[in-house]
Amino acid sequence: MGHIGMVKMKALARSYVYWPGIDKNIEDYVRHCTPCLMVAKEPSRITTHHWQPANAPWERIHVDHMGPFHGKYFLLIIDAYSKWPEIFMVPNLSSSTSINILDSVFSRYGYPQILVSDNGTAFSSIEFKNFITQRAIRHITCAPYNPSTNGQVERYVYTAKQALRSLSKENHRTCQENLNTFLFTFRRSPSTATGESPAQLFLGRNINSALTLLHRADATQKEEILPLRQCQIFHEGERVAVRNYTSPNSKWQIGTVLNRDGALHYTIQVSEKLVRRHAQQMRKVGASIAQSQQVCDSNLHRTFSPNNTPSQPSPTIQPSPTIQSSPTIQSSPTAQPSPTIQSSPTAQPSPTVQSSPIVQSSPTVQPSPTLRSSPTALHPLSIQASPHILTSDTLATGTPGIQSQPITRKSSRVRKPTQRLDL
């Protein structure tokens, strides 16, 4: 036996002998030849692998890992209906990382009915199986060492690698930036398999780009701003009062409407600056009101301290009324002790009597006509009289005998007058 193969053996046998069923007998003999089976070649490949067509977006998805590519790993997710791609950079190929990415995607698009993957450790672990089972997703794995079963995503692995290689040589941007550029362009480009862009089939609309402005040129001109019933309409050049938020004492400022930015927003010129306000922050005013005039709130006529707490104004100090001294008391430049006033042995008479700067005369207090000092009383110290007090020298001679100086106060608190002793 030369083990020349099934076809050659049948041709050689028919050249010498013939019997009914010769071809079938030779085929059975060759199939039972163990040495030939051990070295036989693989059968011819199937050109295409047909999946049952998906009927709706996100009904069946295909997932797979790509990498290491440029030192990084990627997780690819492809929708079988719309060919919508999702590609994420991942630090590793573990099950926990894949679960986190899929959970994030499911939170945006919902759970698919079928998930197709290979037999990698990230998709065959108990943790991943529990994740899929809890969400009622049917998990289909392809045959080992036959990546064509998951060809939906395998083809995009090659396409993504080629695009990232070209983008990395074209510019010096990061891998994530190049990946975003590829996804943006791919999602809005029509697919040869469906004739529509992935965005149109998956989102129901095309993604806006710079080329979209070519079809939106006339749309902006036809757009009209519809007035609202509950909102006033302001016109350009109209005088308005706008809400002021920079000054606590000025609630409104007067300005002129320059432009209507939208249905409810306006640009107003206030003095020398431009402000933007909502319609509910504006009021119509008369044209005669000056632009620089500020309308104050009646509740804000108070001064504010640096810590933004209102402080009450200090009370106005009224000057004390003029007090007439008794006619029986005469004041001289050198005051002598009265013979009717007995002083203490330890008390020394002061040559000049001056009022204390802290003493204020009360309008209801009248000096006693006869003063007697107690045995323990001392003569008053040098007291400077207030400029509002008239002494007996002023009444008699017209010249002040007591020097008067203005009182300097550090606080607005009214001090009580000192008590006098009536002897």
Per DSSP (E only), the strands in 244-319 are: 252-260, 265-270, 273-278, 282-284, 294-295
CATH topology of domain 239-300: SH3 type barrels. (2.30.30)
Half-sphere exposure of 180 (CA within 13 A, CB side): 5
Residue type at 326 in one-letter notation: S
Between CA 297 and CA 307 the distance in angstroms is 20
Residue with tokens 């431009």: 274
Helix (H/G/I), strand (E/B), else coil: 19: coil
Handedness of CA 224, 225, 227, 230 (dihedral sign): positive
Angle at the Cα of 25 from the Cα atoms of 21 and 26, rounded to 5 degrees: 120
What whole-number distance in Å separates Cα of residue 111 and Cα of residue 105?
Answer: 9
Domain borders along the chain are 6-38, 60-203, 239-300
Q: Is the overall model pTM greater than 0.75, yes or no?
A: no
60-203: which CATH topology? Nucleotidyltransferase; domain 5 (3.30.420)
What is the spatial distance between Cα 90 and Cα 269, in angstroms, rounded to a whole number? 53
Cα angle 394, 397, 403; round to 5: 40
Q: In 3D, which of 21, 92, 77, 80 has the Cα closest to residue 56? A: 80
Query: Are 60-203 and 239-300 equal in CATH topology?
Result: no
- The C-alpha atoms of residue 352 and residue 383 are separated, in whole angstroms, by 9
In this prediction, residue 151 carries a pLDDT of 83
Torsion of CA 347, 352, 353, 355, to 10 degrees: -120
pLDDT by position in tens, the chain (length 423): 577 888 888 888 888 888 999 999 988 888 888 888 888 877 776 666 678 889 999 999 999 999 899 889 999 999 999 999 999 999 999 999 999 999 999 999 999 999 999 999 999 999 999 999 999 999 999 888 887 888 888 889 999 999 999 998 888 889 999 999 999 999 999 998 889 999 999 999 999 988 888 876 554 454 454 555 567 889 999 999 999 998 888 889 999 999 999 888 999 999 888 999 999 999 998 877 765 555 554 444 444 444 444 444 444 445 444 444 444 444 444 444 444 444 444 444 444 434 444 434 444 444 444 444 444 444 444 444 444 444 444 444 444 444 545 555 555 565 666 666 665
Label residue 240 exposed, middle or buried (CB < 10 Å: 0-12, 13-18, 19+).
buried
Q: What is the pLDDT of residue 3?
A: 79
Residue with tokens 């001090």: 415
* Separation of alpha carbons 351 and 332, rounded Å: 10
Cα 401 to Cα 394: distance, rounded to the nearest angstrom? 7
Q: CA torsion angle for 293, 294, 295, 296 (degrees, to 10)?
A: -140
Residue 233 CB coordination number (10 Å): 14
Which pLDDT value is given to residue 378? 43
Write the DSSP symbol of residue 389.
Answer: -
Task: Extract the tokens encoding 337.
Answer: 């002790």
- Give 405's Cβ-side CA count (13 Å radius): 11
The pLDDT of residue 411: 53
pLDDT for residue 271: 87
**Cβ atoms of residues 87 and 76 within 8 Å:** yes
Which DSSP helix (H) or strand (E) runs through 175? helix 175-187
pLDDT for position 89: 95
Cis peptide bond prior to 68, omega within 30° of 0 = yes
Residue spans of beta strands (DSSP E) within 285-385? 294-295, 354-355, 382-383
- Residues in Cβ contact with 293 at an 8 Å cutoff, skipping those fewer than 6 apart: 254
For the residues of 307-332, what is the DSSP string, one character each? TS-B-PPPPPPPPPPP-PPPTT----
**C-alpha count within 13 angstroms, C-beta hemisphere, residue 128:** 25
> 54-72: string of b/e by CB count within 10 Å (b at 16+)?
beebbebbbbbbbeeeeee
